[in-house]
Amino acid sequence: MALIEVTHLNKAYGKVKALQDVSFDVHESEVFGVVGPDGAGKSTLFNILTTLLLPDSGNATVLHHDVRTDYLEIRKHIGYLPGTFSLYPDLSVEENLVFFATMYQSDIEKNMPLILPIWQQLLPFKKRPAGKLSGGMKQKLALCCALIHKPTLLFLDEPTTGVDPVSRKEFWEILRSIKQQGITVVVSTPYMDEATLCDRIALLQNGQFIKMDTPQAIISDFRGTLVSLRTPDIFRLHKLLSNAPFRCTYYPYGEHMHIILEQPLEELLPQLKQFLDQHQIQFSHIQQITPSVEDCFIEIVKNSHAQNH
């Protein structure tokens, strides 16, 4: 049975529709990722599921309890890591942990094995005020505080935003190990590369779920041919492609330009090369590549835009 069931959820702040008709389930022992750009509605969704915010309409149950009425019951069994650091900066590492453990009326000793690998890294700083920790350490402490009551369900709102790449990788390894302890994880992130680390992902755009599946399924659903080419003239090429003699979707991707063609590359390659030469665009490394989740996301967003217009 699903641990989270959400049906037709809506939430608006005045005229801004933060969530529109969102429905999904989260199953036991999975890492469910909510992926979307800033302002997509991720935090609103998390605040509703963690019982901090009431939805306008639609239903949401967490651990089979209604978020509107049974919120106290839900709060006993979930852990929540908010998007911004929200521990007491003037209390020490240890004091914060003891404080939140007591809030949950939980036994630190008993649940220590769960957080021990993370806690050990924090031990050298246990007398330090939480506000004076480094960004990565703050996140680890927040995670310890969110796990100390051994929740069934853990919510992480953008846990890796503003964290360095090494710490990000480490953090995801921790999430994997948490999952192995039988804790279901719901995590949001604006980073597409992290999406592939989830069991299932939902792509959130303007308050709507535009796609929800496993990362592999999303990638295999990709329609069209993805071509990557490297060029120093990205900006000029980006402008020129709108007048290309073939239908395509394109977007810069680092130092590369990604072009999604509707036909196989072999058919269009001569035409494409001619187009580039004609406009004196230098290029190299032109090849068909396997799309990443980000490519899929961009394709889906562009398609949904095309349908809307």
Residues binding another protein (CB under 8 A): 47, 50-54, 71-72, 75-76, 78, 80, 82, 84-91, 95, 98-100, 102-105, 129, 145
For the CB of residue 95, give the shortest distance to another protein in the complex, in Å. 7
For 118, 138, 273, 302, the CA distances from 219, given in Å and listed in that order, are: 33, 34, 27, 16
Closer residue to another protein (CB): 72 or 166: 72
Q: Minimum CB separation from another protein for residue 113, in Å? A: 21
Q: Tell me which H or E stretch contains 119.
A: helix 108-122
Q: Which residues of 68-83 are buried (b: 16+ CB within 10 A; e: fewer)?
A: eeeeeebbebbbbbbb
H or E stretch covering 249: strand 248-253
- Give the phi and the psi of residue 21 in degrees, each rounded to 5: 50, 55
Least CB distance to another protein at residue 166 (A): 26
**Tokens 């957080």 belong to which residue?**
115
Nearer to another protein, 74 or 229 (CB): 74
- Report d(CA 142, CA 93) in Å as an integer: 10
Q: How far is the CB of 46 from another protein (least distance, A)?
A: 10
Of 98 and 219, the one with the shorter C-beta distance to another protein is 98
Per the CB < 8 A criterion, the answer to whether 195 and 31 are in contact is no
Please report how close the Cβ of residue 257 comes to another protein at its closest, in angstroms.
41
Rg (the chain; Cα; Å)? 23
Q: Which two tokens stand for residue 147?
A: 């796990």
Which pair of structure tokens corresponds to residue 236? 């000029």
| Structure tokens belonging to residue 244 | 């290309």
Nearest residue (CB) to another protein, 72 versus 306: 72
Nearer to another protein, 130 or 237 (CB): 130
Of the pair 63, 210, the CB lying nearest another protein is at: 63
The encoded tokens of residue 20 equal 């529109």
Rounded Cα–Cα distance for residues 45 and 83 (Å): 12
Of 44 and 189, CB closest to another protein: 44
SS3 for 157? strand
- Residue 9 Cβ vs another protein, minimum distance, rounded to whole Å: 15
HSE at residue 263, side-chain half, CA atoms within 13 A, is 10
Q: How far is the CB of 78 from another protein (least distance, A)?
A: 7
For the bound state, the minimum distance from the C-beta of residue 104 to another protein, rounded and expressed in Å, comes to 6
Between 2 and 52, whose beta carbon lies closer to another protein?
52
User: Using CA atoms, how far apart are residues 185 and 45, in angstroms rounded to an integer?
Assistant: 14
